[in-house]
Amino acid sequence: MYNYLDFEKPVQDLEGKILELKKLAENGEAVDVGDEISRLEKRSRDALRDAYKALTPWQKVQVARHPDRPHCVDYIKALFSDFTPLAGDRNFGEDQAIVGGFARFRGEPVAIIGQEKGSDTTSRLKHNFGSVRPEGYRKAVRLMELADRFNIPLLTLVDTAGAYPGVGAEERGQAEAIARSTSACLGLKVPSISVVIGEGGSGGAIAIATANRVYMLEHAIYSVISPEGAASILWRDTTRSKDAATNMKITAQDLLELKIIDAIIPEPLGGAHRAPETVIASTGDLIARTMKEFSGANTDFREQRREKYLSMGRNL
């Protein structure tokens, strides 16, 4: 069973009825229910299509945060071979909110940096719900420097509500770590690709997302602050999170129009969590096309990146 979102209630009711009929048929308690199941399945697909045909920004926030959405480690397992992780920042410790290392992507070497939220209670605690501490960003800088040294392209997978705001993180230089990671990402000589696969929250996301190409999944979000945070600051009322989400222009569609991102990766009907393999494969295909384009280009990637980010907002 899926974890249903509040706007998916009609779909939940129909799929619940389908499941009940299938169980009755399996137990021999009902006969000739095939036609009824087919009818309900069609109604369910139609209801799902209706629910997703015009999602509001707040509903997209809910989809982006869906607990069953494929995470960084799912992409790494499906798309890469010979993954060798890197651990520690050589300064304080290890932060498993950042998963990073070197691997092969369709035969070619790549460096990978991703934010991992975890998929159950144990893994969420292990990965700190994807909220990165200073050690994580310093580990990311280590990876970027190694990628640059060995002329290996960088791929980042963004999925975080934001950098960890705890006292310990601040004491260990969270702001400096984010700034240094952002600077390192901007200063790479090798090409870089970033994909926002879920939430792209504030500087915690930007620190690994200042790439030559930035892509977003169809229902991902990317913002300077969470809608709840914006509502509490602007109106001192977190119940106005829906208003904040609408006005902040956080959806992939808004950001493509504003030329903040370069392309949108379509998601299956009902979101990435309903067909993870499909969206992961689509993401891999786009990465492959981009890497092929980069490999044949005589480009100063650092200068291209500089121009890309300096030009943002000039035409607003």
Say what the pLDDT of residue 316 is: 67
Least confident interval from 8-12, 61-65, 115-119, 147-151: 8-12
Q: Which helix (H) or strand (E) holds 144?
A: helix 134-149
Q: What's the rounded Cα separation, in Å, for the pair 245 and 168? A: 30
Using pLDDT thresholds of 50, 70 and 90, give the confidence band for residue 299. Answer: confident
**126 pLDDT more than 90:** yes
**172 pLDDT more than 80:** yes
Using pLDDT thresholds of 50, 70 and 90, give the confidence band for residue 37. Answer: confident
What is the 3 state secondary structure string of 218-262? CCCEEECCCHHHHHHHHCCCHHHHHHHHHHCCCEHHHHHHCCCCC
Say what the pLDDT of residue 24 is: 75
Say what the pLDDT of residue 15 is: 82
Using pLDDT thresholds of 50, 70 and 90, give the confidence band for residue 63. Answer: very high
**169 pLDDT more than 90:** yes
CB atoms within 10 A of CB 243: 17
Half-sphere exposure of 175 (CA within 13 A, CB side): 3
* Structure token pair of residue 140: 């990311």
Say what the pLDDT of residue 36 is: 77
Say what the pLDDT of residue 266 is: 96
Q: What's the rounded Cα separation, in Å, for the pair 268 and 288? A: 20
Calculate mean pLDDT across residues 283-300: 92
Output 7 or 280, whichever has higher pLDDT. 280
CB 103 within 8 A of CB 61: no
Say what the pLDDT of residue 199 is: 95
**39 pLDDT more than 90:** no
Question: Radius of gyration over alpha carbons of the chain, in Å?
Answer: 21
Using pLDDT thresholds of 50, 70 and 90, give the confidence band for residue 240. Answer: very high
Calculate mean pLDDT across residues 93-106: 96
Using pLDDT thresholds of 50, 70 and 90, give the confidence band for residue 1. Answer: low
Q: What's the rounded Cα separation, in Å, for the pair 115 and 202? A: 13
Architecture of domain 61-310: Alpha-Beta Complex (3.90)
* Structure token pair of residue 102: 């070197």
Using pLDDT thresholds of 50, 70 and 90, give the confidence band for residue 44. Answer: confident
98-105/221-223 β-pairing:
unpaired
Using pLDDT thresholds of 50, 70 and 90, give the confidence band for residue 222. Answer: very high
Say what the pLDDT of residue 30 is: 60
Say what the pLDDT of residue 14 is: 84
Say what the pLDDT of residue 29 is: 62
Say what the pLDDT of residue 135 is: 96
3-state helix, strand, coil in the chain (%, to 5): 50, 15, 35
CB 86 within 8 A of CB 139: yes
Least confident interval from 10-14, 176-180, 304-308: 10-14
What one-character DSSP code corresponds to residue 273?
G
Say what the pLDDT of residue 296 is: 78
